Amino acid sequence: MIRPFPNFFQPIGWCMLLLISACQNRSVDQDNDRQLSLEFINAQLDDAVAQIKVLADSVPADQLPRTFQGDSSVSSATEWWTSGFYPGSLLYLYEYSGDEQLLQLAKDKLTILEKEKYNKGTHDLGFMLYCSFGNALRLTGDTAAYKEILLTGAASLISRYNPTVKAIRSWEGWTYPVIIDNMMNLEFLTQASKLSGDTKYRDIAVTHANTTIKNHYRPDYSSYHVVDYNPEDGSIVAKKTAQGAYDESAWARGQAWGLYGYVMMYRETGDETYLDFAKNIASFILNHPNMPDDLVPYWDFNAPDLPADNPYAAKYKTYRDASTASILASALIELSTYAEGEESANYLSKAERMLESLSSAPYKAAIGTNGGFILQHSVGSIPHGGEIDVPLTYADYYYIEALMRYKKLLEK
């Protein structure tokens, strides 16, 4: 941590301080130990605005950007789980810049995305509709345009809730699978209750979060990826992975979804159980012996230790996942505001380190390259053989969100 020189009035000391701060993209904030400067954050957001305009040029009108692989842009139809992130990123960057072109680009995509409000075949409606329409409502205040869409979507999401299991079903197949990622869809429900005055959405969110605490987490506060239930009696059929290295491993993005989810649930409910739980998850992640120095995690926390007979051992031990770091940075910035003293400073300094890493090589792409995506080196799913070491739309979304959250801290 960079601190002021003891004697404030020595001109040489000040010059050295400015030089060190400039070299490290940092500035001293004596009140709160924040280490990234507004100039640094704004420079990253300016680059994000420039880069998303490059991306905009490559997206077909009826599709959403997904990744860039082998020198080709890959886009998706609106029903793919990541469809809300690009409009969400455009909206955050509109919020930052006031650039009306970004708002219009977002609105164009909201038009094609709206039909997903009727989609009862996915649990990902929070990602799809809340990151997009939720941000649109927050920024424009246009309830006439967005309230009905959000509430119809929230009704579709809770159609997947089973009161015997006490959780929302994630996928088809399996028996009744619930994945840790589903914590991220709960904010959509708490907000739907605020918007409608009907507590049923929030009640389901709370019940789902409590079931997840009970059944997804191990004693060390790492999470299984999938818990498969028997929908007849709510008993557990199996605890497995789908995107991690093996069933008992800690798939990195899953740990990040869980952390973000419980920080958010504390914000939304004020229940200290969620705050304590989030702190324990943060402790697992931040103290993990396999956490690299740049704080951009491996795709699975257990990846570096994979035994030779693991199918991913030979090739994938050292792959990183920038998307995990983006989600973690955003969650840790928020968590730092709910903690005090050294604990708060620790969360914030870890988020700062993640943002510094992501904002530089090899993670941040040069403007005009990388298909218009901001970040490189994310992993979609190694077990499925898809989107390995590529840019991903959600890595960019949570990176932008983290920058915006940090900017708001600085401007407070």
Q: What are phi and psi of 74, to 5 degrees?
A: -115, 125
Site string for ligand GLY, 99-128 (x = CB under 6 A): ------------------------------
328 or 409: whose CB is closer to ligand GLY? 328
127 exposed, middle or buried (CB, 10 Å; 0-12, 13-18, 19+)? Answer: buried
CB 150 within 8 A of CB 133: yes
Backbone angles phi, psi at 58, to 5 degrees: -105, 0
37 assigned to a ligand binding site: no
Which of 34/169 has CB closer to ligand GLY? Answer: 169
CA distance linking residue 336 with residue 324, whole number of Å? 18
Give the pair of three-digit tokens for residue 51: 């880069």
Q: Which among 46, 124, 309, 389 is annotated as catalytic?
A: 124
What lies within 8 Å, CB to CB, of 391 at 6+ separation is 67, 68, 365, 370, 371, 373, 374, 375, 376, 378
Q: In the window 370-389, what residues touch ligand GLY (CB under 6 A)?
A: 380
Q: Which is nearer to ligand GLY, 116 or 181 (CB)?
A: 181
Site for ligand GLY in 150-189 (CB under 6 A): 181
Q: How far is the CB of 384 from ligand GLY (least distance, A)?
A: 9
How far apart are CB 254 and ligand GLY at their closest, in Å? Answer: 7
CB of 125 to ligand GLY, least distance (A): 12
Residues 6+ apart with CB under 8 A from 222: 250, 255, 284, 301
Annotated binding residue at 241? yes
Cβ(169)–Cβ(229) below 8 Å: no
Q: Which residues of 185-210 are buried (b: 16+ CB within 10 A; e: fewer)?
A: bbbbbbbbbebbeeeebbebbbbbbb
Which helix (H) or strand (E) is 387 found in, with range? strand 386-390
Query: Shortest approach of ligand GLY to residue 80 CB, angstroms?
Result: 11
Quick one: the chain helix, strand, coil %, rounded to 5? 55, 10, 35
* Cβ nearer to ligand GLY, comparing 124 with 268: 124
Residue 185 token pair: 């869809």
Three-point CA angle 43, 374, 367, nearest 5°: 70
Active site residue 181: yes
For the bound state, the minimum distance from the C-beta of residue 297 to ligand GLY, rounded and expressed in Å, comes to 13
The answer to whether the annotation marks 138 as part of a ligand binding site is no
Structure-token match 């915006």, residue found: 404
* Cβ pair 409, 337 in contact under 8 A: yes
* Residue 181 labeled ligand binder: yes
Nearer to ligand GLY, 14 or 171 (CB): 171
Contact 65, 58 (CB under 8 A): yes
Residue nearest to ligand GLY (CB): 181
Considering only residues 269-308, where is the footprint of ligand GLY by CB under 6 A? none
Return the number of the residue (130 or 406) whose C-beta is nearest ligand GLY: 130
Least Å distance, CB 320 to ligand GLY, is 15
CA neighbours within 13 Å on the CB side: how many for 272?
Answer: 1
- Which lies closer to ligand GLY via its Cβ, residue 96 or residue 398? 398
The region that residue 372 occupies, defined by phi over 0 for left and psi between -120 and 50 for alpha, beta otherwise, is left
- The active-site residue out of 181, 228, 300, 321 is 181
Residue 31 marked ligand-binding? no
Flag whether 82 is marked binding. Answer: no
Residue 223 CB, shortest distance to ligand GLY, in Å, is 12
Neighbours of 28 (CB within 10 A): 18
Within 221-260, the residues that bind ligand GLY by CB under 6 A are 243, 253
Contact positions vs ligand GLY (CB under 6 A) = 81, 181, 243, 253, 380
**Which amino acids are annotated catalytic?**
124, 181
Residues placed in the known binding site for substrate: 124, 181, 241, 253, 257, 381
